[in-house]
Chain A
Amino acid sequence: MTDRSIELEVLRYNPETDSEPYWQRYSVPHHHEWVVLDALNHIKENIDPTLNYRWSCHMAVCGSCGMMINGSPKLACKSFMRDYENLIRVEPLAHFPIERDLVTGMDDFVSKLARVKPYLIPKQDKPVEEGEYRQTPAELKRYKQYSMCINCMICYSACPEYGLIPKFLGPAAITLAHRYNLDSRDGGREQRQEEVASGEGVWECTFVGACSEACPKHVDPAGALQQVKIASTIDWFKEQLSSWLK
């Protein structure tokens, strides 16, 4: 039931016609059960079909609809309009280049994700006939939380270090590397450490913790990064020690 209308201020940008982004205001009905994504869909269908934004699942699984809502990075499908005042400002995710309206360029994140090899690298390849790689519930529990990442890039938008140092590998990529490092079936940690323990890797993190506060899936990337730092520090001292002992 519509009880009132609400103002939505959206940052618009069309690289073909606009020299810079500008704000456009829309008046949308307020429904108690509506999220910001519903309001955007209402605009697209009824007011302005030229509005561009990404979305797919509408249930915080696909990770497509990350955007700045009143200055904070959020999933539009998880942000209820009833939790805001009469004016909601919607912008593309911070720290990423705008492609068009609320659509941002993901190339940097995707290439970083590929660099940390976020997939199982078995210790030893075995033929299919030998059966599956088995895992106990306790072994699953070690990494399960870090496997909940939906690549929505909200942690990159929240991270002030990524804003300052664009070459920083960033929260989600390092957390996913950690997820596979913790997997009992995996043997690829050494390969991932080449990126993760480099100057552009985990050491750019100063433990601000904004990533974990913003993460819509409660992955706690900041916690993962601190564990990676401890493990990398132990590695470093071990390597030094073994080179002295030679």
Chain B
Amino acid sequence: MAKSNKPIVWGPFAAGGTVTAFVTPVLILLTLLAALGHVPDGLTYEGMHGFASHWLAKLAIFAVITLSLWSSAHRLRSTFFDFGLRRDKQIATIVYFMAIIGALASLMFLYCI
């Protein structure tokens, strides 16, 4: 039986899942803190802007956003299937396309900083 090409979508999904598990809860907490007006000292707008200006930080931010988006897209694809929506090809195209759009958008924003 021929080997599947699934690793090409599963690889970034697994990486994204790991990143999401570690980073996303912290990001949510920080965002909530900022939204409630308690911005930690190191996370002021100027501080973050300066951080995101460095190419290494840009790379890290891009990796976190892209892998998380891809991971969510792939998980959504499996979830649709589990809920009985069997148009896997169409669903996969839509969710992966959305993740790629998000990745491109983050690339543009990071480029403009």
Q: Are A236 and B5 in contact (CB under 8 A)?
A: yes
Given A195-B1, A198-B1, A198-B3: A206 touches B14 (CB 8 Å cut-off) = no
Q: Are A206 and B82 in contact (CB under 8 A)?
A: yes
Q: Are B6 and A199 in contact (CB under 8 A)?
A: yes
**Segment from A1-9, A58-66, A226-234 that makes contact with B:** A226-234
Residues of B with C-beta under 8 A to A203: 4, 6, 10
Residues of B with C-beta under 8 A to A232: 3, 7
Q: Are A201 and B14 in contact (CB under 8 A)?
A: no
Question: Once bound together, how far apart are the Cα atoms of A230 and B18, in whole Å?
Answer: 13
Interface residues of A, count at CB 8 A? 21
Chain B interface, >50% SS class = helix
Residues of A with C-beta under 8 A to B82: 160-161, 164, 206, 208
Looking at the complex, which one of A161, A197, A230 makes contact with B3 (CB distance below 8 Å)? Answer: A197
Question: Once bound together, how far apart are the Cα atoms of A195 and B4, in whole Å?
Answer: 10
Nearest Cβ in chain A — how far from B40, in angstroms?
Answer: 35
Q: Are B81 and A237 in contact (CB under 8 A)?
A: no
Question: Once bound together, how far apart are the Cα atoms of A164 and B10, in whole Å?
Answer: 20
Q: Does B11 contact A (CB under 8 A)?
A: yes
Chain A interface, >50% SS class = helix
Q: Are A236 and B2 in contact (CB under 8 A)?
A: no
What mask results when residues 57 to 96 of chain B are scored 1 for a CB within 8 Å of chain A, else 0? 0000000000000000000001001100000000000000
Q: Which residue of B lies closest to A198 (CB)?
A: B1
Residues of B with C-beta under 8 A to A208: 82
Most A CB within 10 A of own CB, among B1, B2, B14 = B1
Q: Are B78 and A236 in contact (CB under 8 A)?
A: no
Question: Once bound together, how far apart are the Cα atoms of A194 and B11, in whole Å?
Answer: 19
Q: Does B28 contact A (CB under 8 A)?
A: no
What mask results when residues 179 to 223 of chain A are scored 1 for a CB within 8 Å of chain B, else 0? 000000000000001110111110100101000000000000000
Nearest Cβ in chain B — how far from A192, in angstroms?
Answer: 11
Residues of B with C-beta under 8 A to A164: 81-82
Residues of B with C-beta under 8 A to A197: 3-4
Q: Are B1 and A233 in contact (CB under 8 A)?
A: no
19 additional contacts (CB under 8 A) given A198-B2, A199-B2: A194-B3, A197-B3, A197-B4, A198-B3, A199-B1, A199-B6, A200-B1, A203-B4, A203-B10, A206-B81, A206-B82, A229-B10, A229-B14, A232-B3, A236-B7, A236-B8, A236-B11, A237-B7, A237-B11
Please report B residues at the A interface, Cβ cutoff 8 Å: 1-8, 10-11, 14, 78, 81-82
> Can you sample 17 A-B contacts with CB below 8 Å?
A161-B82, A164-B81, A193-B3, A194-B3, A198-B1, A198-B4, A199-B6, A203-B4, A203-B6, A206-B78, A230-B14, A233-B7, A233-B10, A233-B11, A233-B14, A236-B5, A236-B8
